[in-house]
Structure 1
Amino acid sequence: MLGYSKVRLGLLFRLGRRKRPDKSDGVEDLRGDCCTLPQELVDEWLFCLSDPIDFRACALVCRSWSGTALRLLYKAVAVTGVTRRYIRLWNTLRTSPHLVSHIHSLVLHRGPKLKIEAFEKVCNFPFTHLENVSITHDRRTFMTLPSAFALQRLFSLPTLRRMALECNFRQWAAFLPIWIACSSTIRHLELRCVNYNPTFLPPAQKHSSPLIVLESLRLGYLNFVDGWLQHHLCPFDFSRLSVLAIDVHSSVVSWPQIAPALQTIEALEFASHMEDQRPIDLSLFPNLQFLHISVYISCTTLALAALSTITSSSRVREIIFSIRPPRANACAQLDSEVAGLPLQHAFTVGLEMGAEVYARWAPHFSRLNSRNLLCRTDYDWFEKQRDRKKLTITTPAALPSPF
């Protein structure tokens, strides 16, 4: 596939660099542009590329290529936790402000060697079209009060639709300011926070904007942060969730704030990997259609107990298993349980694993195989469910970054 893209790029390059009319022939070139192809065709071909090097090369061909190439190059920007990369991004946007409008996704990683001033500079930059933000802190770094105020500026952008935050903090004062002015346009939240201060400090200030009505929520490990999420001053409204993913805390489904969402949730992801974890009652989700279960071998019984709560009135039509690690006995148990579910609608069962691993373990699901219900799936279930209702095609957020 990569070779095919290179061939198309070469052909497009040669067509774009066709010889201009010779002035000696009495024909004067007033176009100032060497591309003779329709702009729609140029855009379509450039969209098939993914390497930042290719985008940079295309941006130098002619003006009609440059706009599309730069737009694709800067649509999704990811910066690793190195100070010089943050400075390079900041300098580029400061000296070339026309590039700012191209950035729709921003991924920032903060490592232990990153100078906090560089991180804050990028967070405080006036982005105009930013829709997706992902902030990741290395486990050895901690959120500080200046960083919290920098993120407050970033998360208050009126164009923001999706945000993900993974952070560590020792004091609530370095966490609470982030959310004071959080944009009410946010619809998708992913949160993983480690609080090293077990003392709960309720928010001292109410959220300045209307409540943030979330459509999808993904909660990773939360260490002494769940109390804040359940506080009445928390800026999030969970009542209209369509997609919910919970890793460790199965008790989330019993939160009073989540109760209204039990009627609206269509996609649910949870993990069974703690022996003292309570199984989730799936009969509480009358509109559930898509189910993803991470099955840890030591706690297979939890997954089986959850599946047993599916009733004949269930609307479930897809069940995905991520088995870690696969074992013959666990596969046979899951195969038996799912094959015997009283589902009235047609459904499929997916195994989230690579092609080679799937070929090895699929035969252990003999009942589902015999009914042609089994298939292999990739590792992007949550992302697909989150974007399931989107009607427009966008550039993937994982597009390689120029930085």
Structure 2
Amino acid sequence: MNRLKSYEVFKPGLFPEYTYVSRMSSEVMFSYEFRLEQALKTPGYLTSIIGPSKTGKTVLCEKVIGIDNIVSITGSDFKKSTDFWNIVAIKVGLAIEGEYSKVNTLKESINDENIQIKSSASREKYVSNKDLVIDYFKGNNLVLVLDDFHYASEELQFDIAYQLKDAIRKEFKAIVISLPHRADDAIRKNADLSGRLNLINIEPWKMEELKEIAVVGFKELGIEIEDLVAERIAVESLTSPQLMQSICLNLSLLSNIDQANKLDTTLIERSYKATTVNLPYKDVINKLQAGPSTRGQKRKKYKINSGDELDVYGIVLEAIALDPPLISITIDELKDRVDELIENSNDKLDKNKLKTTLEAIQDIMTNSAAIYQVFEWKDDQIYIVEPLFLFYIRWGVK
């Protein structure tokens, strides 16, 4: 049997065949796999999965349902006045328009003993509709997985919820996936779906769960990784198994592990930097650092302890990137970080200034493409929506 390669074991963008970690849901003490299987075997119910970005929601679906039985669409696939069922039909290759043959059968009694049967064929046009799609899904044991539901407009979310409400009564299986801290009223607070929802909240990954990816993965490669090294990588992975997979893969490649059969742990920080190389966040940082237009006026700059000079927008991003890496930061924690950064005690920024800055950044993100929506400022707290962004501002080239 051939020895596995590092890229076969650590798969950041694919189903992790060798490093899949089954996790328990602490709120009810059942595995997520059991809970999803239970949900799918409960007829007439819609399943709602909510959890942070890059925490394995889609991988969980692939594990339980099987990749070949999933039909995946995203909230961004739906635009204004787009017919929900036509989008789903196109995804599975059903013709939206066509013709089918219809056979009409007529029985006639000639007498008490003889019955004459007449039949005629006709061709009728159809437009693919809900019932045809539902029958196709049921006949082929398919499950609709609607990912990034929050990217659809609020109006479309409620329309989709209405469409799914009727479909699940016909044993159509569907899963809606969204992020926390985003409006999910269309599903979870919809009175029409009350009593017909299976709710699964995916918790952030714990340190020990992330470490298991490294321990199991390197064991498959015939290498034992030290506990402290695995823990160090897990901290930087920011509760994201996908990021953990990426770092382990890049550390393997830098160590030339497939030939040398040895892990060079002195290359860990270099593996972090290598992991950021192809991440698409340089333009995001530039846009957020630029802030709103000042109409020719220059913003005040503050000297930070590294010797650089930054305006308030640059300082906020720099503060978010400081140790320890956190996926949620309160305004008080941010204020402490900013105070730590600014060299001159007379230049300290008050909380109101920071709040105003964060509100402006939030406006920029809200009115930009989805890739710019990397964190959310809500209720005096920063929620990191995209862990890869936080990892990038910590380790990427600035």
Higher relative contact order (CA 8 A, sep 6+): 2
The question of a shared fold, defined as TM-score above 0.5 by the shorter chain, is answered with no
Answer 1 or 2: which has greater helix percent: 2
Q: Smaller-chain TM-score range?
A: under 0.3
User: What is the TM-score of this pair, normalised by structure 2?
Assistant: 0.27
